[in-house]
Each structure stands twice: as C-alpha cells, then as structure tokens.
Amino acid sequence: MSPERERAPKPEQGRRLEPERKRAPRALRELGLAALVLVVLTACGIRPTDPIPGLEAPSGPVENTSPSLFWVQSNGRVVPVGRPEGSLSGFDVVGLLAQGPTGAEQNRGLSTEVPFDAAPATIDRVANGLDVNLSTDVSQLSAAAVQQIVCTLLGVQPVGSVNLRGGGRSLELQQCA
C-alpha cells in the first residue's frame, strides 16, 4: 500500500457509523421521549378525592327572558306590552312600572298608575309565590296599579300569587286577572 493513498478511517470496534440523514430522526425521537418523560414527571399532583356534596339543583319555573310590562289603556284596562329580549328581574320591574311607558307607548294611549315612590321594591320567593315589599302604602294603590305590578311580576316568574306589602299594610295572594 502506498503512503499516498488515504485510508478511510476504521470504525471503532462495536460502533457503526450512521449516515447524517439517520441522525436527525433519531434525535427528534429522543427529544420527543424526553418531553414525554418531563410531562409525566411534572404532572399537577392533584390526588383523586371523593365527590363533594352540594346543594339541590334548582327547580320550579324559569324566569321569562322576554317579559311584557303591563300598562293601563285610556279605558282603564291593563294590557301587556312586549319588551325586547332581555331578563327583567323583579327589582327592575317595579321601577320600570313607576317610571311609566316609553314615548312610543304613551303615543299609543298607554300610561301607568304605579306611583313613582313605589320603587325601590324588594321581592322574595315564598312557598305560595312572591312577597313584594314596596316603598309606598299598598292600601293607596289603585286596582289598575295592583294589576300592573302583579301581572308583570307573574309574567317574569309564573310562581302562583303575589303578596304586596308596604306602609304597614298588605294585599295578600294577588293574581293576574
């Protein structure tokens, strides 16, 4: 053998030389395996527990999401007028009734008999329906005002009857007529 001829390096005993194209996929596999091991070892560490008891699920009527407000026509009749979709809670209802109908509703001959000082009101659910505590004497409300409040509230939550209270007086078990 001539010294001018270059010799190819001999592979080390027991080690095979791999071509460059095979090293990249192997490195990716090793990196993926390392990431998987890291994820497993750093899990959140939350231990399983027994179920935690909670309260009973709500039952009963669902609040109407597109209720009507009841206004008084010029002939004294109480009529429903639809409002845009959106929930009205009982707290909003008495205030809205006391403020009166919109300009467009007034142009149609609608008005309110709920006095402005009836609001704010508090409303509680009870076994037979709703307890409504007004900021005014309920004995001074007209029959139309009572119907406006009762029909509107029962339209929002149809729960039986409405007990109106205020000024040391009460009107019990009112229904929408």
Question: What pLDDT digit, counting tens, does each position of 49-84 carry?
Answer: 777 777 666 555 555 556 789 999 999 999 999 876
CA 64 – CA 129 distance, rounded (Å)? 15
For residue 116, what are its two tokens? 């402005």
Number of domains in the chain: 1
Query: Could you tell me if residue 61 is inside a domain?
Result: no
pLDDT digits (tens, 9 = 90+) for 117-153: 988 888 888 888 899 999 999 999 999 999 999 999 8
Query: Could you tell me if residue 44 is inside a domain?
Result: no
Q: Which residue has the higher pLDDT, 44 or 93?
A: 93
Cα→Cα distances 159→118, 147, 173, Å:
22, 16, 11
The average confidence (pLDDT) of the chain is 79
Q: Which domain holds residue 110?
A: 68-174
* Torsions phi, psi for 16 (to 5 deg): -100, 140
Query: Could you tell me if residue 8 is inside a domain?
Result: no
CB 152 within 8 A of CB 93: yes
Mean pLDDT over 42-47 rounds to 65
Query: Could you tell me if residue 56 is inside a domain?
Result: no
Percent of the chain past pLDDT 70, that is, above it, reads 69
pTM exceeds 0.75, yes or no: no
**Predicted pLDDT at 19:** 55
SS3 at position 24: helix
Burial class, 165, CB count within 10 angstroms (exposed 0-12 / middle 13-18 / buried 19+)? middle
Highest-pLDDT range among 24-33, 52-61, 101-110: 101-110
**Predicted pLDDT at 33:** 84
Q: Which residue has the higher pLDDT, 48 or 140?
A: 140
- Lowest mean pLDDT: which of 9-18, 28-37, 52-61, 111-120? 9-18
Query: Could you tell me if residue 167 is inside a domain?
Result: yes
